[in-house]
Amino acid sequence: MITLDQADRLIDAILERGAALDCRPLSVIVVEPGCKVKAFKKEDGASMVRFEMAYGKAYAALAMGRSSKLVKVRAEEKPIFMRYLISASGDQIFPEGGGLQIRDAQGEVIGAVGVTGDTEDRDEELAAHGIRAIGLRTDEDCANLGRRGGIRLTNT
């Protein structure tokens, strides 16, 4: 399970990188498996409902075992299926890029991060940056584990 220290460092790395790239004000959440909040920060100037958006992206990544950007693609491809899952989750899944699973050195899922505030591509890029900046791994970094590692880089 991700530690509070790791969660804080991950969020700080994302916010620092976002400032360097002159991103709009960001909100970042790190959750444990089971989607229990470990840490959250919202930059000054970030609009309301950012906690819910960041949480929904992290929830989507954990619930579907893939990036929230891939969850969005699945929602576009199979809208009835995804409407059901979103409803079954109590409307907690937010299918929009910026949510990634966080993996340890062995490839085990230890949490997820959700980033919101800029474009979905930038949010996702920042999420991956934060994970790697503190020495942890993304699904992409663990691609060699394949199906046995629960790695989903596509929706097939």
Residue 148: its pLDDT value, please? 60
Residue 147: its pLDDT value, please? 64
Q: What is the pLDDT of residues 84-117, one digit of tens each?
A: 999 999 999 999 999 999 999 999 999 999 999 9
Contact 86, 93 (CB under 8 A): yes
In a domain, 141, yes or no: yes
Domain count, the chain: 1
In a domain, 10, yes or no: yes
CA angle 48, 52, 54 (to 5 degrees): 100
In a domain, 98, yes or no: yes
Residue 43: its pLDDT value, please? 98
pTM passes above 0.85: yes
Residue 144: its pLDDT value, please? 84
23 vs 149: which has the higher pLDDT: 23
In a domain, 21, yes or no: yes
In a domain, 119, yes or no: yes
Residue 61 three-state SS: helix
CATH code (residue 135): 3.30.450.150
Containing structural domain, residue 144: 4-149
In a domain, 155, yes or no: no
In a domain, 156, yes or no: no
The C-alpha atoms of residue 120 and residue 125 are separated, in whole angstroms, by 9
Residue 143: its pLDDT value, please? 86
Q: What is the pLDDT of residues 10-42, one digit of tens each?
A: 999 999 999 999 999 999 999 999 999 999 999
In a domain, 37, yes or no: yes
For the cut 90, the answer to whether the pLDDT of residue 151 exceeds it is no
Q: What is the pLDDT of residues 40-68, one digit of tens each?
A: 999 999 999 999 999 999 999 999 999 99
Q: What is the mean pLDDT of the chain?
A: 94
